[in-house]
Amino acid sequence: MQIILQEDVEKLGTRGQIVEVAEGFARNFLLPRKLALQASEGNLKRLEQIRGHLSKRTAGEKDLAQQFAATLSTTSVTLVRKAGETNQLFGSVTSADIAEALAAQGHTVDKRSIQLDEPIKVIGEYDVPVKLAHGVTGSVKLIVNREE
C-alpha cells in the first residue's frame, strides 16, 4: 500500500515522502495516528500543496527546536546518589532520571530522546546529548554527586 507521510517516521521516511508499507501497518498504526495519508489519486494531485504546507510547518518546528537546544545548553542538572569508596554508584543514572530532573526544572523532554550510550555508574560531570526534532541536537550538563 502506498501512503504519503505527514510526519517523520523513524526507519520509514520523512514528511511528504511517498512510501510503500504493509497494508496492516498503514491501517492499524499510521493512518489512525494521523502520521500518513492514503496515496489516493486526489491526495497525489494535492501532493505539492501538502509538501508546501509540511515544509512550512517543519521550518517552524526546527526553529523552535534550535531555540530549545540553546536553552538546554545553558541548563545544568545535579543528581545526588549513594556511592561506594571508589565513586562507583549503588545503581545507575538513566535517561528516565535525567528526564525527570529536567521536568522538575520546567523542561519537558521525552526520556527516549536523551541519548545515553549506557547508564551512568560513576560520580562525575557529563555532557548528555538530547535529540530534538528534525535533526537538532542539544546538550545538557549532568553532575552526579555523592549522597552525604
> What is the domain-level CATH number for residue 27?
3.40.5.10
pTM of the model as a whole = 0.72
Dist CA 16 CA 67 (whole Å): 25
Within a domain: 59: no
Cell numbers found for residue 41: 489519486
pLDDT at 92: 93
Mean pLDDT in residue range 106-135? 91
pLDDT at 53: 82
Within a domain: 127: yes
Amino acid at 32: P
Tens digit of each residue's pLDDT (9 = 90 or more) over 63-101? 999 999 999 999 999 999 999 999 999 999 999 999 999
Q: Are residues 80 and 140 in the same domain?
A: yes
Q: Are residues 73 and 142 in the same domain?
A: yes
Mean pLDDT in residue range 21-49? 91
Tell which wins on pLDDT, 86 or 10: 86
> What is the domain-level CATH number for residue 122?
3.10.430.100
Q: Are residues 98 and 142 in the same domain?
A: yes
Residue corresponding to grid cell 571508589: 86
Task: Give residues with Cβ within 8 angstroms of 92, minimum separation 6.
Answer: 119, 120, 121
Q: What is the number of structural domains in the chain?
A: 2
The distance from CA 64 to its chain's CA centroid, rounded to whole angstroms, is 13
Q: Are residues 7 and 75 in the same domain?
A: no
Residue corresponding to grid cell 512550512: 56
Within a domain: 36: yes
Q: Which of 78, 103, 79, 108 is nearest to 91 (CA)?
A: 79
pLDDT at 45: 84
Domain limits for position 88: 69-146
Contact between residue 35 and residue 9 where contact means Cβ atoms under 8 Å apart: yes
Q: Which of 132, 7, 144, 3 is nearest to 70 (CA)?
A: 132
pLDDT at 3: 93
